[in-house]
Amino acid sequence: MLDLLTAAAAAAGVFAATNIDDIVVLTVFFVAARSTGRPRPWQIVAGQYAGIGALVGVAVVVAAGLLVVPDPWTGLLGLLPIALGVRALLTRRPDGDEPPAVVGGLLGVAGVTVANGADNIAVYVPVFRSLDPATGLVWLLVFAALVAVWCLAAALLGSHPRVVTLVGRAGHWLVPAVFVALGVVILTTSGVLPRLVP
């Protein structure tokens, strides 16, 4: 029993450390959902589960030796949030005070989650390689529970009056800026830029 609790605590620590930035992105999604209706809350939750599930699935497959992930080329996924942010800036209405809906549905949320967490695979692979099946199952259950906790925390933040007011005032540029900044961070921290620039 102690081993399972230790495994659960370790899984919670790894999840929190690798997904802390998701709280910001999810909060932006929930604020956009409140003001524009897109994406819908269920799409945000389902998209987050799909994105985290894809990341963990790839990590498990790589850990089993069935797939090789070209590192650091996964950093190119940072182009996705940059493109979404730029598109939101270009398509916003000049007279609109509401934050733009950067993504419209489940697939967009999942795509941003995967792009934001592509570097997590480098952490997850050695972990899953070292786990026995029972401990691996504990890790998967903890990850699934924490996705729900992350979504709940972001939904609460996204409905907080101060957050809503801030995004209401500056959302037309703040929301796209968050996505562009996220993409830039992914590109710069992945190590892919030196391979692109001679």
Tokens of 116: 């934001």
Q: How many domains does the chain have?
A: 1
pLDDT digits 0-9 by tens, 38-72: 889 999 999 999 999 999 998 888 888 766 666 66
Cβ contacts of 38 within 8 Å, gap of 6 or more: 32, 101, 103, 104, 105
Q: Which position has the higher pLDDT, 171 or 173?
A: 173
Of the CA atoms within 13 Å of residue 10, those in its CB half-sphere come to 17
Q: Is residue 115 part of a domain?
A: yes
Q: Is residue 197 part of a domain?
A: no
Range of the structural domain that residue 158 is part of: 2-190
Q: Is the pLDDT of residue 105 over 90?
A: no
Long-range contact pairs involving 58-62 (C-beta distance under 8 Å, separation at least 24): 58/121, 59/120, 59/121, 59/124, 59/125, 59/127, 59/128, 60/124, 60/128, 60/136, 62/121, 62/125
Q: Is residue 195 part of a domain?
A: no
45, 168 contact by CB (below 8 A): no
